[in-house]
Amino acid sequence: MKFRTLLGVAAILALTGVSAPAADKDAADIAVEAAKKYAGTTISIVWEAGLQSLDPLNYSGPKWEKLTGIKVKVVEVPTDQMFTKIMQDFKSGAGAYDALNVIPSWMPDLAGAGALEPLDKYVDKFGYRDELQDIAAAYRDNQMQYDGKIFGFPDDGDVMLLYYRKDIFEDPKMKEGFKAKFGYELAPPKDWKQLDDIGQFITDKMAPKVYGAGFFRTAPYPQYMFQERFRMEGGKFFNADTMKSTVNSDVGLKVFKQMLAENKFMPPGVEQWNFVDNLAAFLQGTTAMTISWPPYGRWAAGYGSGEEALKWVPKSQVAGKVGYALTPLGRPELGVGFDLSVSATSKNKEAAYLFIQWLNSKKTSLERVQLPYTLRDPFRLSHYASEKYRALWPDAPAYLDTIKTSGEKGLLDLSLLQQDKYDEAMTKAISSLWAGEDPKTILDRMAQQFDAITEKVGIENQKAVYKVWAAKPGAYPQ
């Protein structure tokens, strides 16, 4: 053997020898190994109160402690107080929180204020960049960075899905009757007119036992539906040149009138329904269609029904009868979502980072999105493709495929400086709509409130943020 060949072989062996352990280690293992030096410390993480927090309380927190010796203290905060608590901690310099759950639309406020730690250096140091590529593009490209830097790891594949009762939609009598009346097949609605036709038809035939549809209507949920529908009908939130709000356009009026009219074929009192009321009605078989986040699909299939933590969910009467589809017009809202971030005032930044890398990693996140009681929805390509997940219930493949497609086509929540105030204006407007106020008056008032917020933030500042947001592929339908 020639010397050069020998040298080559030796080099290959050396390289394989050296790199083999590294190649074997995934981001979760790397995080665990690196975190062991912090054994004995305690890190805190802000998590949404309620069911969400059972993940770190019952599963990931104890597991992380077992693997690394780092104790995780979970600070449970109701969603509507999370932003305030995080900012309050940052402004006071208390440094009480190490890791955070952050709603992506808050990113301009939080990252802009310096409340979040830039994560790029940690991502490189702990070899996480490759695994980030596995996160579905809708979340990775839109919800991870601010001003070109990584401030959070998308950790929840929130997207709206349409759920419908297959047994009703496939009933020969219903199909025949529907086609005779409307001239097209009874199938998941492709647009809002079809949803009206189908909803009214089922209500006429089956109410009060089953109504055509039921949606959540109380704050803050319907504003996500409004954002989606408004844009899909051609609406723009602002004039990009002047930053004057244009929500009170004819499109806004059309959407408001449509939303109001739909209530007529929904169960009485639907205006007061929140997430759980709507869920209960669908699981008990009272409504034939609904639109909501992915947990509805899992729970409707009866997944996790034996879990102690899910005892508050009524038993599904519709398991095996639920179909999944894109929302009408085919571009569902990527409503809310969660990012995992590190607080800029944390005293344990690296330990906090390692915890969120481990949580968010391919391996750990796949386990977490399969926990029946957590509300983390699949958000990685590997989640959608997971054979284990696809075998969880008979319709799980269709469920995962619909989530994947919905995510790819999803529309982003509006995300500006002081976004919480715009959200509040939308929420109040929709409440006024259910209360019976004139839609045009409500929209004019909402536009005025938008303008007032924009002026307070500074028109030029907001224009710059809006420009960045509006340029994203998921901001407005192309």
Partner 1 sequence: MRLMKLPTRKGRVLVLRYIGAGVVTLLFLFPVYWLFMISFKTPDEIYHVPPLWMPGQIQFSNYYVLFKDGDVMAILNSLIVAGVSSAIAIILGTLCAYSLARFGTGGENLAMWIISQRMIPPIAVVFPIFLIYVYFGLVDGYFGLIVLYTAFNLPYVIWMMRGYIVDVPLELEESALVDGLNRWQVIWKVVFPMVRPGLMATSVFTFVFAWNDFLFALVLTRTEVITFPVMLTHYFGGQSNFWAKIAAMSVLGTLPIFVAVTVMQRYLVRGISLGAVKG
Name the site residues for partner 1 (rule: CB under 8 A).
Answer: 44, 48-53, 73-76, 78-79, 81, 88, 92-94, 96, 267, 274-277, 280-281, 284, 286, 293, 295, 311-315, 336, 375
Alpha-carbon dihedral angle through residues 23, 28, 30, 33, given to the nearest 10 degrees = -130
Spatial separation of the C-alpha atoms in residues 444 and 281, rounded to whole Å: 34
Answer yes or no: are the C-beta atoms of 157 and 143 closer than 8 Å: no
Which lies closer to partner 1 via its Cβ, residue 103 or residue 186? Answer: 103
Which lies closer to partner 1 via its Cβ, residue 82 or residue 414? Answer: 82
Minimum gap (Å) between residue 124 Cβ and partner 1:
32
Minimum gap (Å) between residue 82 Cβ and partner 1:
10
**Contacts of residue 149, Cβ cutoff 8 Å, sequence gap at least 6:** 111, 118, 119, 120
Q: Structure tokens of 368?
A: 């977490």
Minimum gap (Å) between residue 375 Cβ and partner 1:
5
Q: Structure tokens of 417?
A: 């400086």
Answer yes or no: are the C-beta atoms of 154 and 395 closer than 8 Å: no
Which among 148, 117, 36 is positioned nearest to 340, based on CA atoms?
117
Answer yes or no: are the C-beta atoms of 233 and 254 closer than 8 Å: yes
Spatial separation of the C-alpha atoms in residues 59 and 54, rounded to whole Å: 7
Minimum gap (Å) between residue 323 Cβ and partner 1:
21
Across 201-308, the runs of DSSP E, i.e. the strands, are 289-292
Answer yes or no: are the C-beta atoms of 230 and 258 closer than 8 Å: no
Which lies closer to partner 1 via its Cβ, residue 308 or residue 387? Answer: 308
> Which amino acid does the sequence have at 13?
L
Which lies closer to partner 1 via its Cβ, residue 211 or residue 450? Answer: 211
Which lies closer to partner 1 via its Cβ, residue 6 or residue 276? Answer: 276
Per residue, the 3-state secondary structure of 98-134, as one string, reads CEEEECHHHHHHHHHHCCECCCHHHHHHCCCHHHHCC
Minimum gap (Å) between residue 248 Cβ and partner 1:
28
Which lies closer to partner 1 via its Cβ, residue 52 or residue 406? Answer: 52
Distances (CA, A) of 142 to 156, 400, 465: 13, 21, 13
Minimum gap (Å) between residue 456 Cβ and partner 1:
19
Q: Structure tokens of 201?
A: 């038809």
Which lies closer to partner 1 via its Cβ, residue 189 or residue 335? Answer: 335
Distances (CA, A) of 429 to 195, 395, 439, 443: 23, 38, 9, 7
Minimum gap (Å) between residue 70 Cβ and partner 1:
16
Minimum gap (Å) between residue 51 Cβ and partner 1:
4
Minimum gap (Å) between residue 324 Cβ and partner 1:
17
Which lies closer to partner 1 via its Cβ, residue 119 or residue 313? Answer: 313
Which lies closer to partner 1 via its Cβ, residue 88 or residue 239? Answer: 88
Which among 60, 18, 124 is positioned nearest to 360, based on CA atoms?
60
Q: What is the DSSP string of 383-423?
A: HHH-HHHHTSSTTHHHHHHHHHHHHHHPBPPP--TTHHHHH
Length of the chain: 478
Q: What is the CB neighbour count within 10 angstroms for residue 7?
A: 11
Spatial separation of the C-alpha atoms in residues 132 and 127, rounded to whole Å: 10
Minimum gap (Å) between residue 229 Cβ and partner 1:
21
Minimum gap (Å) between residue 325 Cβ and partner 1:
20
Which lies closer to partner 1 via its Cβ, residue 365 or residue 374? Answer: 374
Minimum gap (Å) between residue 102 Cβ and partner 1:
14
Answer yes or no: are the C-beta atoms of 289 and 212 closer than 8 Å: yes
Which lies closer to partner 1 via its Cβ, residue 105 or residue 248? Answer: 105
